Chain A
Amino acid sequence: MTSSKQTTGETTPGTTSRDTSAQAQAIDVVGVDRVFRRRRDEVVALQDVTVSVAPGEFVSLIGPSGCGKSTLLRLVADLDTPTSGSVTVFGKSARQARRDQDYGIAFQQAGLLPWRTVASNIELPLKLHGVGASERRARSCELLELVGLQDFGRHHPDQLSGGMQQRVAIARALAERPRLLLMDEPFGALDEITRERMQNELVRICRETSAAVLFVTHSIPEAVFLSDRVVVMSPRPGRIVEIVPAGGGMGTSHERTDEVRDAAEFFHTVATVREHLHGAPVVGARAVENR
């Protein structure tokens, strides 16, 4: 454990010299391995993973279950530590970034505290970090409006549908105006209709807050619709297969509207991601045929 930390310290300057813009990166993951040891079994969850997220950029991690996409996000959130390699968030170690509260996080389960009202759930991180009551109230009002739940502030989570609970969780993640959002399959438990609506709202929220996002999903259209770049991963051991840019005719992640879902570029990118996921060689023509 200690030795890996020392390596982290040594490799960071190297990273900086390699890439002059590294200091500005929201997330910089370099050569990360994560090995889980259980008794005699060793499971390589991540192997030599290198990826970065620029400020304001939306990056999705996609792959079958067991490919380590959630593990990667947990490393960035400092919910786990890498076996080797370095994870930096805004130029600091992941631990320091967590202590400085540089990111907001949302899980697959909304994880709201059932005994608190919706508004006080949103205010929770502010309260924990010593923000005054009137400021908290103002912020939660703002956020409730942002996620379209202005009439539900005094409700309790058990009175809300799954989609509404998830919107509260996103509002809570945004409470401290983080420059980085970490989202682990936040729409995984929602139905397709609610899901698309939530995706549209997330695009709008990202545009208004201009936060960088690291987004874990197993839905290809969701990843393509939301992202500037889609990181395709494969399991056993968890590696990055390809990083697919999603832009061109679709515009940047902040410019997406429902029309993008019908654009040729969208289908093309979906096909490319799918082929990388299935491990087939990428042939441009086939990808077009596919649609």
Chain B
Amino acid sequence: MLGRLRAGLLGALGVLLVAALWDLYKAFGPEQGVLVGERTLILPRATDLAMPHTWEMVRRLFEPATGLRGAPTALEAVLDASAFTLSIAARGWLVGVVVGIALALLMTRFKIAEAGMLPWIVLSQTVPLIAIAPLVRRWGAQIEFGSFTWENEHSVALIAAYLAFFPVAVGGLRGLKSPARTHVELMHTYGVGWWRTLITLRLPASVPFLLPALRLAAASAVIGSVVAEVSIGLRGGIGRMVVEYAQSAGGDPAKAWAPIFGAVAVGLVAAGAVGLLTLALRPFHLTETIR
């Protein structure tokens, strides 16, 4: 208990220290930054425009988001956008987890599937998703089943899933393959089939590997949602807000930081929610590790 309090206080101190460093650099750093050669900055400009005071960033949160009458505060706007992005990321995470576990099972069952697919799964993550995002939207526009029409937010969720499935597939595969050979052979001597072995041995053994993978997938889903919102141009979420608020940075530099705090919050909430799931699976993760 005392240890936790200490960790919390030290963590808060760490954040304050970063804020203090920021303002110290701003106070004593060169106005035009530090140049290498003609115009390549290696340390940032210390002007109010480039580096607003940290307290300005916080204060800006509590001022109206726009100049319109009756506009909500920046904080409210950011929270709305965060909730929207979080809901999309959650859908993407769910799809990604299902696909990831299915792939992991397939690769565990058939050695040839692992040999043939794993390199492509790794390769899939080198595709810049921002490039395929507009394509996904175009493909989605072709889809119509009865009353169901494909919305842009489905495209964003799909791209979130595209990032989220990867850690689950890789972590799941490692987890399912983690039981020692003696355990697998023990199951074999019991005359137990592949499915029973899966349920009694491989799945419980995979939990310590799956939990960190699920957390990683949550972070990836948030990153995917934010980036996809930008490239698809979906309004209402944090991603779009980052771009919009950055455009007003000329006259209102602190405003650009509001959606960034929102993005951090969404990521932490997503990872925290998966962390709660961890508690439910506690009996199996006696040996939680990311080996």
A touching B, CB within 8 angstroms:
no
Query: B-side interface residues toward A, CB under 8 Å?
Result: none
